[in-house]
A and B are shown apart, each in its own frame.
Chain A
Amino acid sequence: MPENFGDFVRHRREMLRAGDPRFSVRQVAARVGLEPSYLSKIERGEQPPPSEESIRALAGDLGIDPDLLLALAGKVGSDLQKIILKRPQLFAELLRDLRHLPDHAVLRLVREVRDGKW
């Protein structure tokens, strides 16, 4: 799987287009509100990734996790930015502490919905 934003989007779109003609550059661009020529340049790496809003729309259309696509674009979602900016030192420290943990250990940190007495 390509690690470059444009290549990744094109790879995913072409894969979908193989089974569904609605995933042409023109039709995807129309659905997410971009000019087809602009999307084409983004895919070729001739333009930088678009706005967060367009990235989220692309992710929705192509069935990609929006956080993954934003990360490939070198961006952090505005929702995450808000969370971090509320307690920047705490979250920065937390992320540094977590960086070397294996996935299963990070997953153990997820918060469960608490069940009580009914």
Chain B
Amino acid sequence: MIELTNDALQFSFPAVHPGARLHIDFQRTLRIPDDGRDYPLPPGLGRFPLRHVDDVAGHVPAVWLEHGGVMLPMSQAEALWLSFSGPPLEDRGTAWPCAIRIATGKIDAVTGKPWVSGLDRGPQNYLVHPGQPWLDGYCVERGVIRQFVAMPLGEGYTAEEQLTGRGEHGGIQVQVFPMKRAAFERRFPPRPPRPAKVKSAMLSRSLGAAACAAPMEMGLAAGGRMRQEIYADRFELSDWDLEQGSRVFVHLTNSVVWQAITGQAPPGRPPTAADYGRAGLPWFDYYDEARQPVPGSELLRRLRSVLELGAARGSAPLPENDAAPPGRVVRLPDRRVREWR
């Protein structure tokens, strides 16, 4: 089952184990420049708000209600990343492992293939948590992603429109499969408990109000390049419980429309990458040297970024794309806090 709590999706699989849980939220962040450089990981600036589409049934397209799920507000050219976490099972030394599939406009963000339910290994079409704490974009090369950037659906920028020729679905699709109980018991036998880790204190920041008028539905397109590895699954495909999957359709609505239909102001615009760097604030790097990254997707590598496509059309869809050489880069070995809220 999936609950919506504090602007996060809480997946739980009580039929597998009470501890089989995964938490996914959508982090606001800087849009990294699309200038050919490979950037480190930008920070998290707090969660995007989430609402059940059923709560605003009179104000959203009928197809959204058919899809069900939740919605969040994005402005044109705004970026996001997905944050994955799960409660640790103290006597096992791990959170319950989950296989996570992410697609945008029903295009798989890891393989670039059209959405088909379930897990595959040829090539691997999912992420594994723990071990993969976040996803920032499309897996275009081994160790490199192109950042998720929101663009209005119907203008041809989104990954979906480039790969299928149609802007039919938009949004983000998420599907989660827990590890089977028997596989978990075999792989993670009980061990003496260790003291719980303490969450770091977090700092909040938000900038001025968003100002953007555009069509209602947004989709995700390819932005600048970032160093991020998508790790190969170190378990067996048969370890995943394919009968217990849960999925959710996350609709992306234009920020101005969001305010009109929910009565709530959307989050402010994040700072530009250049302003952030000038303020001396940190960027992040995260590698797990014990794990093997998957190769990038040839399909996704061929995506044209928002900047390239805009330039070819003689327009400039990305404001403030100045190079922003990151000053301070914090290496995150194990302490995976990357959020400023």
Contact = CB atoms under 8 A, between A and B. Distances in A.
A and B assemble together: yes
B249 A31 contact: no
Interface string B48-85: 00001010000000000111111000000000000000
A46 interface: no
A98 to B, nearest CB: 17
A60 B68 contact: no
Contacts of A114: 52, 54, 68-69
Contacts of A16: 198
A20 B4 CA distance: 33
A22 to B, nearest CB: 9
A110 B173 CA distance: 22
Given A113-B9, A114-B68, A60 B3 contact: no
Contact of B196 (A23, A31, A63, A116): A63
Interface residues of A, number: 18
A31 B199 CA distance: 13
B3 A118 contact: no
Contacts of B54: 114
Interface of B is mostly: mixed
B248 interface: yes
Interface residues of B, number: 27
A63 B198 contact: yes
Interface string A70-113: 00000000000000000000000000000000000000001111
A19 interface: yes
Contact of B201 (A31, A115, A116, A117): A31
A62 B52 CA distance: 31
B3 A113 contact: yes
A113 B67 CA distance: 11
A112 B2 contact: yes
B68 A111 contact: no
Interface in A25-65: 31, 60-63
B199 A63 contact: yes
Contacts of B65: 116
A31 to B, nearest CB: 5
Given A113-B2, A114-B52, A20 B69 contact: no
B168 to A, nearest CB: 11
Contacts of B52: 111, 113-114
Contact of A117 (B66, B70, B246): B66
Contacts of A62: 198
B202 interface: yes
Given A112-B1, A113-B9, A118 B67 contact: yes
A14 B1 CA distance: 37
16 contacts: A16-B198, A20-B198, A31-B201, A61-B201, A63-B196, A110-B1, A111-B3, A113-B4, A113-B69, A113-B248, A115-B68, A116-B249, A117-B66, A117-B67, A118-B67, A118-B173
Interface of A: 16, 19-20, 23, 31, 60-63, 110-118
Nearest first, the 8 closest Cβ-Cβ pairs linking A and B are: A116-B68, A114-B68, A113-B2, A115-B68, A112-B1, A63-B199, A116-B67, A63-B198
